């Protein structure tokens, strides 16, 4: 499954889960067509299959961490968390075994997908291989051969999932390399700018300072003129350096969203990103990036939140968490600085509590 670029977030979860949950009809069809179990076990198997589909969607969205953003972002959960997440799925699949036996292998592609979404590529492939070996063993014990249809069909499905995960991993590495290369180019450009600004200016300043020193007694007026020129050159150089450093410090929105997601995930905060920032012009993207940076910092420091939503639109950006709220705390330097940035751009910053707990930080563009 190809992963969209971080520059163009899309609600991947919607169409991905919609496509795969259609295949929950496979075990249901097997129960209805080939099962010779009594009606009670067939009814239990059908109900378990439907419940499995719902539970699988929740598990994938919980463990993947990045479906809503359109970015590949495995959270690498611990063994305990992964086992607890998969245990209900295994239990529901087991309820269909009395009705269809090894036909319950039809649930295996869903388990493989959840594991591959949750783990980095190599551990995910190892876990999937163990799952396939278990399927083959079970099918051989029941059917006398591992090449029965109840094994071949699910394995083909798992093969497609593995192929998509490998492609997604390649896309992830390419995107990371692209961002690193862009950062290198930016640093080189900044280095050249500073060299060009300071190298030339400081050379001229040194020469004029020497000239002013030599003429200080013999020609005071000229020495004063040279010193005035030194002051002008140093002020110009200072302004140029500030502009260059300011460009260096202006955050990239895609990179800032990814950095916020990683930082919040490390703190145990689930992040959902909605909307599309690609239509925004560069100045608004920069402003949105500053807002995401400041809101993320405050959530990490003060909110004790469990969930956070970043919502982008042509009208602005909204960051909402479910933490302890702002209460009566005043704005710190960060929010004050953000408010000034927003005001300077002609926009409006809104910071307010959320009903039920939490804080909403919204930048409205004008």
Three-state secondary structure string covering 166-190: HHHHHHHHHHHHHHHHHHHHHHHHH
Each residue's pLDDT, cut to its tens digit, for the chain (366 residues) gives 333 333 333 344 444 555 566 788 888 888 888 888 889 999 999 999 999 988 887 777 666 554 444 444 455 566 677 788 888 899 999 999 999 988 889 899 888 888 887 777 888 889 899 999 999 998 888 888 878 888 898 899 888 888 888 887 787 778 778 878 877 776 776 676 666 566 656 777 777 788 888 888 888 888 888 888 888 878 877 777 766 666 555 667 888 888 788 778 877 888 999 988 888 888 888 889 889 988 888 888 788 888 999 999 988 999 999 988 776 556 666 788 788 888 888 889 999 888 888 899 999 987
Question: Domain 253-364, what fold?
Answer: Heat Shock Protein 90 (3.30.565)
Q: Could you tell me the CA-to-CA distances from 294 to 155, 204, 268, 333 in Å, in that order?
A: 47, 41, 18, 10
Q: Residue 98's pLDDT is what?
A: 92
- What's the whole-model pTM score? 0.48
| Closest by Cα among 292, 311, 297, 309 to 267 | 297
Locate 97 and state its tokens.
């075994």
Q: Residue 164's pLDDT is what?
A: 81
Domain limits, the chain = 1-249, 253-364
């Amino acid at each position: 499954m190809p992963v969209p670029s971080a520059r163009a977030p899309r609600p991947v979860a919607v169409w991905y889960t919609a496509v795969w949950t259609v295949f929950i009809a496979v075990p249901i069809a097997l129960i209805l067509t080939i099962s010779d179990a009594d009606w009670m076990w067939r009814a239990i198997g059908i109900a378990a299959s439907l419940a499995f589909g719902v539970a699988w969607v929740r598990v994938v969205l919980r463990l993947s961490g990045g479906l809503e953003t359109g970015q590949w972002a495995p959270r690498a959960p611990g063994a305990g968390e992964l086992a607890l997440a998969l245990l209900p799925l295994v239990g529901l699949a087991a309820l269909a075994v009395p009705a269809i036996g090894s036909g319950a292998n039809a649930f295996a592609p869903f388990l493989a997908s959840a594991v591959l979404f949750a783990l980095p590529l190599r551990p995910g492939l190892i876990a999937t291989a163990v799952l396939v070996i278990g399927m083959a063993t079970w099918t051989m014990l029941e059917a006398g051969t591992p090449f029965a249809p109840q094994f071949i069909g699910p394995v083909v499905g798992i093969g497609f999932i593995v192929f998509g995960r490998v492609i997604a991993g390649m896309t992830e590495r390419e995107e990371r390399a692209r961002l690193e290369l862009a950062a290198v180019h930016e640093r080189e450009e900044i280095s050249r700018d500073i060299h060009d600004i300071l190298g030339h200016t400081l050379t001229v300043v040194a020469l004029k300072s020497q000239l002013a020193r030599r003429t200080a007694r013999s020609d005071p007026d000229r020495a004063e003129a040279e010193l005035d020129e030194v002051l002008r050159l140093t002020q110009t150089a200072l302004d140029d350096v500030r502009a260059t450093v300011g460009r260096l410090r202006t955050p990239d929105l895609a990179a800032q969203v990814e950095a916020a997601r990683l930082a919040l995930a490390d703190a145990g905060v689930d992040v959902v990103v909605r909307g599309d920032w690609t239509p925004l012009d560069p100045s608004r993207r920069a402003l949105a990036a500053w807002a995401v940076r400041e809101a993320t910092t405050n959530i990490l420091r003060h909110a004790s939140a469990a969930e956070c939503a970043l919502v982008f639109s042509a009208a602005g950006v909204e960051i909402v968490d479910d933490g302890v709220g702002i209460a009566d705390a005043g704005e710190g330097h960060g929010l004050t600085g953000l408010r000034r940035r927003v005001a300077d751009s002609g926009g409006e910053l809104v910071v307010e509590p959320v009903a039920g707990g939490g804080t909403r930080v919204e930048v409205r563009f004008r």
